[in-house]
A and B are shown apart, each in its own frame.
Chain A
Amino acid sequence: MAAVKETVETVKTIDVDQYKYGFVTEIETELAPKGLSEDIVRFISAKKGEPQWLLDWRLEAFRRWQTMTEPTWSRVHYPAIDFQDLHYYAAPKRTPGPKSLDEVDPELLRTYEKLGIPLREQEILAGVEISKVAVDAVFDSVSVVTTFKAELAKVGVIFCAISEAVREHPDLVRKYLGTVVPTSDNFYATLNSAVFSDGSFVYIPPGVKCPMELSTYFRINEQKTGQFERTLIIADKGAYVSYLEGCTAPKRDENQLHAAVVELVALDDAEIKYSTVQNWYPGDSEGKGGIYNFVTKRGDCRGARSKISWTQVETGSAITWKYPSCILRGEGSSGEFYSIAISNGHQQVDSGTKMIHLGKNTTSKILAKGIAAGRSDNTYRGQVSAHRKATGARNFTNCDSLLIGDKCGAHTIPYIEAKNASAVFEHEATTSKIAEDQLFYCMQRGLDEEEAVALIVNGFVKDVLQQLPMEFAVEAQKLIAISLEGSVG
């Protein structure tokens, strides 16, 4: 209830067309020269002080990438990206691997403060009501700081920048990196494999329930920079972790590229809950600028009875192209996908999931809510398939679309494939429009038009919001209201 009120308040205080996180941080940055070549790949690898095996891995990806072409099957339209006109490495100068918050450039900390990210441990500890969240912050190409490391280490949890993991835990990284999303997977994932600069690494040892939420905040600051982070999360046998990522970027007239790869591995009886609140700059009301978000996220339920669940609230980016997926390999494993995708203005969203049933008695659930407003285009694309050995596989899919106004579009494209007779797949889809009568009813009770829309939309997405960790659900609810600012009338 309080959250609805807050949503309404937030809407009221914000100017139309105002992307709250659109500021630029003035900070000295070390940039790689523009363009992409083997030399740049070597440059990045050298900057990170990487071992030979990783450099070779990158180079192989790069060579493969050169033979690939951009995919064109999605329902998004944009001018060709000039991959030679981008910087593939940008790092704040003063932070070559900070040991603690004191070594971090104060300007950076102020940036995260402006973003409302509780980076400072003492602030979190001071707040009685705020539960503890360990944060890894990634600024352009490097991980700036990771909090609560010591406390996590006590229970054996590793939470650090992936570049640090390469140095400190090379065996784990080498064992799992690229095993879920191989270097040959797709154009953007292969590009990422060649040039990824940083990201988060998590390892939860057998039987450990991670004592706090883990969170990463990604921020693209530099102009003409691509962000290619790589996240790798491993939950060993019987382990549990809940992980959240948040994303923002400054307002810029040109488009920025974001091509991340996230790999999750769940072993026997392990569970990973991965939540995303994505609020990259969506472009202005004319459709100028904004982030191109081409992301490959995949979880591998490698062990028996393992579970991976993706929850995402997508409100940002000019273009979103992402399909967080689950490979249900282990017997009795399960995958879940809960999604809210909101598009307004000229945003284009082509998003969904893949549930690949390989093991026996595997189950999956998909709950996708798309909301299209303004002149945006919102597509749900989802694949559910059962291998011939996946006897007893079950899936339930529900896709609902809500249209606001008459200049937007919503599309649902399901691909369903069962190669054995015992699989049971259910698919439900609805498309509705916010009825004028509903708005009038709410307004008759005293809500103004934007409050009324926010209330109705929050009702529409409630089932998914409930899947988010509590402290982020409120944030997400506010974000939804802001994203729909000016969508009616």
Chain B
Amino acid sequence: MLKINNLHVEIDGKKILNGLTLHVKPGEVAAIMGPNGSGKSTLSYVVAGKEDYTVTDGEILLDGVNILEMEPNERAAAGLFLAFQYPLEIPGVATMTFLKAAMNAQRKSRGEGELSPGDFMKAVREAAKALGIDPDMLKRPLNVGFSGGEKKRMEILQMALLRPKMAILDETDSGLDIDALRIVAEGVNAQRDPRHGFLVITHYQRLLDHIVPDTVHVMAKGRIVKSGGPEIALELEKHGYAEYVGEAA
């Protein structure tokens, strides 16, 4: 589903990713773990199409199509979703308005008609309920004055409504207390099925207690330095990243 091959990325002349290769299959939940500054967030931004980065080599394929030349909205319509580490505030735009604009924009680019107001409301209410989101919050401007946990829940709500083929979760656990973490993890687990892929980026093991990955990749200095099963995460929890930081240097 998602194939990243030999990806080299720079920002302002500084190399961040150095020949990163990573494949995620349909139905797979892959986790990327790594120390601060290893390029985890850069990877998520580059895949989603943020402008500031220069890709000097490599390719990113989604269902066999190279998405590097595509605009962020085209990538979204192709089925890519990024849950932001720091979700943005959009003052004056009700969350509901934003959700509807996003859903209909994606439907349109796939040649589908718009959702009827009834279907839309039903879908939003159900998804919100599952994530313990107060309906009143949907009337407030998106993310404005929301707590860290509320913002992350809102990201998962958007993911649930947009139902992307491939979702990247960038440090979704940061800033969450244990209850919020559990709710967010349940939201993700509810969407796991053989057709959808997930890439979970995290610094800590604790998220992976709740979202149990199929594969774990360790990232350091802009490359994947080790891959394996969930046991790797436990090792990291015990020994830390020192070994990998040294190895990559």
Contact = CB atoms under 8 A, between A and B. Distances in A.
B73 A446 contact: yes
A436 B49 CA distance: 13
A4 B76 contact: no
A440 B75 CA distance: 12
Contacts of B87: 441
A461 B91 CA distance: 10
Interface in A352-373: none
B248 interface: no
Interface stretch (B35-43, B94-102, B215-223): B94-102
A176 interface: no
Contact of B105 (A446, A462, A463): A446
A437 B91 contact: no
A435 to B, nearest CB: 8
Given A446-B106, A447-B102, A1 B76 contact: no
Given A5-B114, A455-B90, A446 B71 contact: no
B64 interface: no
Contact of A455 (B50, B98, B106): B98
Contact of A5 (B50, B101, B141, B158): B101
Nearest to A8: B101
Contacts of B77: 446
B109 interface: yes
A458 interface: yes
Contacts, number: 94
B62 interface: no
Contacts of A448: 71, 73, 105
A460 interface: yes
A130 to B, nearest CB: 20
Given A1-B96, A455-B90, A444 B101 contact: no
A84 interface: no
A54 interface: no
Contact of A443 (B76, B91, B97, B158): B76
Given A443-B73, A446-B76, A446-B109, A451 B92 contact: no
A488 to B, nearest CB: 12
A208 interface: no
Interface of B: 48-52, 71-73, 75-77, 81-82, 84, 87-94, 96-98, 100-106, 109, 114, 141, 158, 162
13 contacts: A5-B101, A442-B98, A444-B49, A444-B75, A444-B76, A445-B105, A445-B158, A445-B162, A446-B76, A447-B101, A447-B102, A451-B101, A456-B90
